[in-house]
Copies of this chain bind each other. A is one copy, B any other.
Amino acid sequence: MPRYALLIEYDGAGFVGWQRQETGPSVQQVLEEAAARVARGAMPEVVGAGRTDAGVHAEGQVAHLDLDRALDPGRLVEALNFHLGAARIAVRAAACVPQSFHARFSAKARAYRYAILNRRARPALAMGRVWHVKHTLNLDAMRAAARHLIGRHDFTSFRAAACQAASAVKTLDRLEILREGETVLVFAEARSFLHHQVRNIVGTLKLVGEGRLSPQDIPPILAARDRSAAGPTAPAEGLTLTAIRYDPDPFA
């Protein structure tokens, strides 16, 4: 069975998240139904690298699937996009990969971008893509707070109750904050993240940016190992999974 890696973009609105659920359409389910039309047989399993939550977007999700026959990757992209119909999902690229490639377990790192629209007026063009924060954020304070979070820590205070990870110790490789016009962007990268970790970090950094927490509050929040010590979970709609990194890059 030839295995393919897929590079996938989607608008998280209207999906219950990446993973199949009883409660509504998931990105995985819609992709598997499109893949079944291409495979013309049993529905292939589409295994994603990152299980994004309901409302979270992706520019660079990666998944793998096995097909019953060899197909030119370019034709696989065209066929999947055709069968995806009106769904707000696009397969950006496909590549033949060895059976040893696993979208989730072979991933070396995951990269996310969180967008905050930081102005008084509500969003119109960016509606559904940003967290609207009216209070002008202090980026210097947010960056000082971020420096306490970068590196290897026990992130229990930033972990959802439902998180199934064996350990809350994770290494955060990048946590950068930029202003681009009226938008504040938070870039986070790690080998792997806990459930809601990026959104809980952003919810806490936002309190720092508003002056409701200080950067010096971050070390005791980490040390507390208690979810209630950190800030609230930032809304899903501001979050985009931008890239999954592999070595070698299957799409290079």
Contacts and interface: CB of A to CB of B under 8 A. Distances in A.
Interface of A: 9-11, 57, 59, 74, 77-78, 81, 88-93, 119-125, 127, 240
A251 to B, nearest CB: 12
B10 A121 contact: no
B124 A9 contact: yes
Contacts of A78: 120
Contacts of A127: 11, 88
The 7 closest A-B pairs by CB, nearest first: A90-B124, A9-B124, A92-B121, A90-B121, A88-B124, A90-B122, A10-B124
Contacts of A10: 124-125
Given A11-B127, A59-B125, 15 more contacts: A9-B124, A10-B124, A10-B125, A11-B124, A11-B125, A57-B125, A74-B120, A77-B121, A78-B120, A88-B125, A88-B127, A90-B124, A91-B121, A93-B121, A125-B240
A121 B92 CA distance: 5
Contacts of A88: 124-125, 127
Contacts of A121: 9, 77, 81, 90-93
29 contacts: A9-B121, A9-B124, A9-B125, A10-B124, A10-B125, A11-B124, A11-B125, A11-B127, A57-B125, A59-B125, A74-B120, A77-B120, A77-B121, A78-B120, A81-B121, A81-B122, A88-B124, A88-B125, A88-B127, A89-B124, A90-B121, A90-B122, A90-B123, A90-B124, A91-B121, A92-B119, A92-B121, A93-B121, A125-B240
Contacts of A90: 121-124
A29 to B, nearest CB: 16
Contacts of A11: 124-125, 127
A205 B122 CA distance: 35
Contacts of A57: 125
A28 to B, nearest CB: 15
Nearest to A88: B124
A120 B91 CA distance: 10
Contacts of A240: 125
A77 B120 CA distance: 9
Nearest to A119: B92
Nearest to A80: B121
By CB atoms of chain B within 10 A, which of A78, A120, A124 has the most?
A124
